[in-house]
Structure 1
């Protein structure tokens, strides 16, 4: 009886941060925010990782490039507010312009539309020292206030982990699915499952897994050297019932494209051809 009283007393504020909000029998509130009136977005894909440093932004940009090459219109919402890297990868340093009711995304040389906190800061090297609710609010604004226009795919580059921002994105945006980025270490199996379980609790399908740092190819003999150990990605993917979308080595050409801020020219041959 006490449980019934607690769930019946749920409010939008009290449920907003609850991992069980979607399964609560007495609370069916839809927390999704309306898109900007000048936006028409067909697919929203989140790119997530259970831990940092696995190359999530590299995979996000690679997926965006793959869809651009197919002729789709693409945008990247950089939700990694405290560690944004997407604009620099594309050589975008100008500031986003605004109108009375909207913000215009910046456009990379390949046509990718980009919105990131770095495009709003006076100094892009300045640290973003904000608390979780403010960061979550900015991510929402990147959806509600940015004039994305007509877009086939909007990729959301998420910060690592299962905290405030991923929860905000899953609850506030109409996410069609997520791609999980991982690496070969044994520890990762548990971390992948954490990210997958969060998506499952939020009723969002996992579209596939990408493994980064799978190997490095010897420049002399061509042998694949497993720097971080043997891959277990196929076993994890089979257990989860999702496809492996790619196994990416440490590739000097992709790294150079990032360093030169010319990812708009990059091609990632290690990702499987997919429409997501």
Structure 2
């Protein structure tokens, strides 16, 4: 049976079932986090945090299982041109602890021990430090495959298409360029990371945080920082503020207060 695969930055309608931990192939801990599943899988398809060519981004892959079965491995195949050599698996949901390995264009997460996952469960894998392709493409997809301990395929699916684009004139603010001809090397793109205030989230409550670019800058991506894996981000996307911004919404599932900070990648031309 084939499941439904979605690349998404939006993860909603979750309930918490415990705690799991991801490790790299050399046994080093990557992150401790919550076991998350959903009774109503999200149908939202969004882009990586940065959709510009030759830029690094984190990708969140959500796969809705089609079969109730014990899962031993999850393989995610990235399209040619996407550099995953230095990628890191920073978070998973719906699976027990395990290790990840990288081979070619595939990142494999091996669960130890295998875990019985019901049908219609959202599995989430979040990767950091992935380098986007150098050539624009509006029809990129990834494939995710789950396997049992014998190596047999349980579910397999392909994502909805996402695009990687080249910066165009529409990304340049009005009056940023004042001459018709610009000498080669006269201007260079500069990307700066900016942050919101540190937002404290009381136990069991949620908060919004918004990071804003300066006047004349454009947003190329965004994300967040938190001091606890108990803080679950349910929304991370371009802000609705009139200024270029990145907004996040997070829920504190702990019994103690924790912090969240939104970050935004801002592009301007220099000098």
TM-score above 0.5: no
Q: TM-score, normalising length from structure 1? A: 0.29
Larger fraction in strand: 2
Larger RCO: 1 or 2 (CA < 8 Å, sep 6+): 1
